[in-house]
Chains A and B, each alone.
Chain A
C-alpha cells in the first residue's frame, strides 16, 4: 500500500473516531450489548431508548448505516478499508452498530446487484434510514433444505398477481413492514426456472403471521401465510419483481452466498466484540481444560476472521463461488463451539434464563444451535463443497 493511502486512512480513522466519540449517545456505548440492543428500524419498531434512535438517525444522515453502499442510495460510499476502520473504531469505543436489518444484509445487496435504477432509488434509502423493516420469505413448510421446491404460487391476473401459500422460518415476519419472497410464477417450468423474487407489502390483505416459539424461549421466526394476496405488478411504476420474472433463483443464489458469508462471520457481536479468551481471562478462569479449549477456539477464531477478510478480497477479484459454503460451515460450527465453551465456563450461573453475570447467555447459547441449520445446514454446505468444489462424483 502506498504511503499516501496509509496517510489518508490514518486521517480517516482519526476523523471518524472523533465523530463517533462526539456523536454516540451514552445509552448505546461503554457496555456489553445483548440482543435487546439491536436496532432493527421499521414503521413499528419501538426504540430501546432515545439514544438508540438518535444514533441511528445521526449515522443515517452520514450514510453510515450502510457504510459501503453508494451515496446516491443512502450509503456512505466507503471503501472496504474505510468500512473496516469504521467498525474497528466502533468496537474500540464500545459503541453499538446503528442499524441491523434484513434490508441491509440481504435485500439491499440483491437490489444493488439485480434491481432497476428506480427500485434502488426508492427502496435503498428507506432501508438506510431505518424506515422500512424487511423480512425474508424463502423456506416453506416441509421443504427443509430443498429450497427450490417452492410451492407458494402467484397466479398471473394481468396487472397483478394473486399469491397463495405459506412460508416458514421467516425471521421477525410479525414485526416486518415488507417481505422479499421466492414465489413460483411458472408452475410448468423446471423447479429452478419458474421462481420469481417478489416484493410484497406485509399490510396487504390476506397476509398473516404466526410466531414459532423456539427452544431458546424466544420467537424470532414465524410462519407467514398468503391467502389470495393481491400483489400489483408495479407499485407506481416500480416493478414488484427483482431481476427477471421466473429468474428469481439467480437472485436467491446470489443472496444465499451473501447470507452464508454473513452468518459465517457472525457471533463475535454477542460477546460485545470481545474474544472468548478475553471474556474468560476477565472472569479469572483457571480450569486447565476450559483454558485449553479456549486457546484452540481463539486460534481458530482469529484464523477464521482472517479467512473472511481474504474471501472478501477474493470476491472483489471475481468471486469465490461455491467455496463460500466453507465460510458458512466453519463459521457457524465455530460459533456453536464458542457458546458451548462460554456455558461451561459460566457454570450454574450461566444456566439461568437471565443472569446478572452473563446476561442472556443461556437463550443465546440455545439460539446458536440454529446457526448450522438456517441458510443451509452444515451438511448441505459439505455437500456443496464436496460436489461443486472438490468435484467428487455423485452416486
Chain B
C-alpha cells in the first residue's frame, strides 16, 4: 500500500483548500448562515464546484475531476477545520459514489446542477438494515411510503437517494426531491445545518429510478456509505485540529493569576494527551482514504476504525476546548461552541462510536 504519508499532490491539494477556505469560509461564515436561516452558503458551494470539488469522485468523461477518496478526505478535513457547511459529503461523496457504483451518470453532480441528500435513517440511531420504508410494486413501478429522518441537505436537495424495502429486498431509489407525495420538514439540530425529516406518501417511482438492482440497494449504497463515513471522519479530524488549534492559541495568550495559563502543567499535559489522540486518529483517517482508493472491497474495517476514532477524538477535543477556554467557551459569541455542536452531530451521523467499534470487533472476530 502507498504509505500513510501525504504525496506531493496531496500536499498541494491541502494547501489550496486551506488557502481558499480560510478566506472564503471561516467559522464566521457558519454564523452568518445561521443568522440567515440557511444550511450553507450557495456562493461558497458554487466556488467549490468551480474548483472541481463537487466532481472529486466523478469520472472525467462526466465532467468530474476524479481525484479519489483520499483527496475527497483531504477536502472534507479542511472543511472541518473551519466548520464549513456545504453539500459536499452528501452530494460529492455519497451520491457520486452510489451513482458511479451503479453505472449511472453523475455529471449533474460535477457541474453543481444537482444537490443530493441521502435518506437512510428512520429512528434515532443509524441502522440501514432495519429500513422499513416500503416500496410496493405498482404497475411497472413502485409506490414508496414511510418516513426518514436525519436527512442532511434534506431541505435544499434537488434529488434524494432513498433506501426502501421492496418485495425483493432493500432497494435504493434516486428521486426528485419535489416529487408528489414527498414532504419535507426542517429538522432543527444543534449544528445549525440543513437537516430534514422526510415523509413519503405513495411517492411514485419507476424502474428508471432504481439505483443498481431491485433488491440489491446495498450494492451501491454500501460503498457510498463507506465513502461518506470516511469523509465525515476526515471532517471530524479537521474539526478536532481546528478546535485544538484555537485552544492552544488561547493557552498561550490568556493570563490568570498574573501568568499565561499555558504554563500550568495540569493544562499542558491534557493538551499533550489530546495532541496524541489527534495524531493516532490522523493515521486511522489516512488509512481509510488509502484503503478506499486501493482495496475498496476490503475497506470496511479501515472505515469503521476511522469513524470510531474520529468521533471519539473530536468529542475530547471540543470538551477540552470549552473547558480550557473557561466561561468564554460557553458563550454563543465565541466560536468554540460551534465546534462542540457540529462534533456531536457528525459523530452521530452514519453511525456513532458504538456502531463502528462493534463493526471493527466483528471484522476482527471478537464477536459474532
Rounded to whole angstroms, the CA-CA distance of A383 and B270 in the bound complex is: 10
In chain A, what residue has the closest Cβ to B309? A303
Contacts of B287 in A (CB 8 A): 306
A49 at the A/B interface (Cβ < 8 Å)? no
Of chain B, the residue at the smallest CB distance from A278 is B365
- Any chain A CB within 8 A of the CB of B27? no
Binary B-proximity of A97-114 (CB < 8 A = 1, otherwise 0) = 000000000000000000
- In the bound complex, CA of A329 to CA of B262 (Å): 20
- B269 in contact with A379 (CB, 8 Å): yes
User: How many interface residues does chain A have, given as a range?
Assistant: 35 or more
A113 and B364 CA atoms in complex are apart in Å by: 39
Nearest-Cβ distance from residue B310 to partner chain A, whole angstroms:
10
Is the CB–CB distance between A389 and B275 below 8 Å?
yes
Indicate if A14 sits at the interface (CB-CB under 8 A): no
* CB nearest neighbor in A for B267: A392
Q: Which residues of the partner chain A approach B251 to less than 8 Å between Cβ atoms?
A: 392
CB neighbours of B276 from chain A (8 A): 326, 329-330, 385
* B280 at the binding interface (Cβ < 8 Å): yes
> Do B366 and A281 touch across chains, with their CB atoms under 8 A apart?
yes
Is there contact, CB below 8 Å, between B3 and A313?
A: yes
Say if the beta carbon of B89 comes within 8 Å of chain A.
no
B117 within 8 A of A: no
Q: Is the CB of B358 within 8 A of A310?
A: no
Known: A295-B360, A298-B360, A389-B275. A307 touches B263 (CB 8 A): no
Interface magnitude class on chain B:
35 or more
Q: Is the CB of B263 within 8 A of A393?
A: yes
Given A326-B275, A382-B269; A281-B367 close (CB under 8 Å): yes
- Write out the residue numbers on chain A whose beta carbons fall within 8 Å of the beta carbon of B360: 295, 298-299, 302
Task: Judge if B4 is at the interface, Cβ distance under 8 Å.
Answer: yes
B275 touches A390 (CB 8 A): yes
Residue B5 CB within 8 A of the other chain: yes
**B260 in contact (CB, < 8 A):** yes
Segment 324-345 of A: residues with Cβ below 8 Å from B: 326, 329-330
Give residues 284-312 of A contacting B (CB, 8 Å).
291, 294-296, 298-300, 302-304, 306-307, 309-310
Does B248 interact with chain A (Cβ within 8 Å)? yes
Task: Confirm or deny: A1 has a beta carbon within 8 angstroms of a beta carbon on chain B.
Answer: yes
A19 to B141 Cα, complex, angstroms: 61
**Residues of B bordering A, CB below 8 Å:** 1-5, 248, 251-252, 259-260, 262-263, 267-269, 271-273, 275-276, 279-284, 286-287, 301, 305, 308-309, 357-358, 360-361, 364-367
- Name 9 A/B residue pairs within 8 A (Cβ), A-sorted: A278-B364, A294-B366, A295-B358, A303-B280, A310-B283, A326-B276, A329-B273, A385-B275, A392-B271
